[in-house]
Homo-oligomer: A and B are copies of this chain.
């Protein structure tokens, strides 16, 4: 029993490092960059609140657990901004190794279960994973709009690119939420254009 708790605490203490991994997006008030620990909390809450908008029926409890661990590999792999440049195959290999190391800290049966849940999220093939991926894309859009465009001007992002890089994924799992975001995005770009003319 004590050995199990020791292994669990080793994993949970390692997980603390996620609070020091910085993302491209800022807090809604723009005061500082968001870290992956607090992001993981926020999107679990997003899923809990937004479950009714899933395109297909989901087990929201599995979705929440998936979101709590979905980014834990960033402890080793860092955050990969969707508007940045990176080699997807290389990133995938680094993240696989990170998953093996970090989930491997847990007792064997939990290591296997957590890894399977993370693999499912990554594969994005089940209804639960598709909805989880949608939600993961929603929160940064809101942060960007709230903080006055956030990283969009920095990466020269257009409304069309958002449709391709974000919209397609949100629409796949939660089309009603994308409709709401799209209205906000269009309003932001219209206002941004008019203020730069």
Contact = CB atoms under 8 A, between A and B. Distances in A.
- Stoichiometry, as copies per complex, reads 2
Given A29-B20, A42-B15, A50-B8, A65 B68 contact: no
Chain A interface helix/strand/loop/mixed: helix
Report the contact-size class of chain A (Cβ under 8 Å from the partner): 35 or more
Contacts of A28: 13, 16-17
A58 to B, nearest CB: 13
A29 B14 CA distance: 10
A92 interface: no
B16 A143 contact: yes
A126 interface: no
Given A61-B61, A180-B5, A13 B68 contact: no
A38 interface: yes
A68 B190 CA distance: 36
A12 B45 contact: yes
A42 B16 contact: yes
